[in-house]
């Protein structure tokens, strides 16, 4: 049995507490890409994006912009993933981020800027998904991701061969 939801929640908050968006793709900017908007519109959407504190992003906004998970670059993913994880742990997300965290054939580079504590927090979240209702159909994919990309030996996560 893994950590409690509250323990995972605390781990995620601590691991991602100082993350800023920087030049990464923002939530509304990602929606613009999903909607095939032109460059000018995407630039305006980026102005709406929270860039300093992911805690300020409402669950309603996350749910409205959930497809942005597919359009984030590594810095955008690092900035937003904690907000999506917390919304899922709290039972408020329309769609949790587990799918994005387990589709490693085409998502691997989106996790390249994560530090060790962030990777551990994500692993603990995925372990929590295995114990949660609603992830029964993703069980095998999550187990595979945990035993490969998100694998830990002691406290150290292994980098897979590329």
pLDDT band at 152 (very low <50, low <70, confident <90, very high): confident
Mean pLDDT (the chain, rounded): 92
The predicted structure's pLDDT at residue 19? 98
- DSSP H helices, 23-156, are 27-34, 39-48, 59-64, 74-89, 98-102, 104-107, 116-131, 139-147
pLDDT band at 44 (very low <50, low <70, confident <90, very high): very high
Average pLDDT estimate for 87-101: 95
Instruction: Read off the pTM.
Output: 0.92
pLDDT by residue (tens digit) across 119-145? 999 999 999 999 988 899 999 999 999
The predicted structure's pLDDT at residue 116? 95
Q: Is the pLDDT of residue 59 over 60?
A: yes
The predicted structure's pLDDT at residue 1? 61
Query: Which H/E stretch holds residue 133?
Result: none
Instruction: List, in sequence order, every residue forming a beta bridge with 131; answer none if it has no partner.
Output: none
pLDDT by residue (tens digit) across 96-109? 999 999 998 888 99
């Amino acid at each position: 049995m893994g950590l409690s939801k509250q323990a995972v929640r605390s781990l995620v908050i601590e691991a991602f507490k100082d993350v800023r968006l920087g030049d990464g793709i923002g939530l509304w900017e990602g929606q613009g890409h999903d909607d095939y908007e032109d460059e000018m519109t995407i630039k305006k959407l980026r102005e709406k994006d929270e860039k300093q504190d992911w805690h300020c992003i409402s669950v309603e906004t996350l749910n409205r912009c959930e497809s942005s998970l597919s359009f984030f670059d590594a810095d955008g993913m690092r900035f937003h993933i904690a907000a999506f994880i917390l919304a899922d742990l709290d039972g408020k997300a329309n769609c949790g981020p587990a799918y994005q965290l387990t589709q490693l054939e085409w998502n691997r580079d989106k996790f390249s800027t994560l530090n060790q504590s962030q990777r551990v927090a994500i692993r603990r979240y995925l372990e929590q998904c295995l114990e949660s209702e609603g992830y029964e159909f993703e069980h095998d994919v999550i187990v595979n991701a945990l035993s490969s990309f998100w694998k830990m030996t002691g406290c150290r996560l292994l980098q897979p061969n590329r």
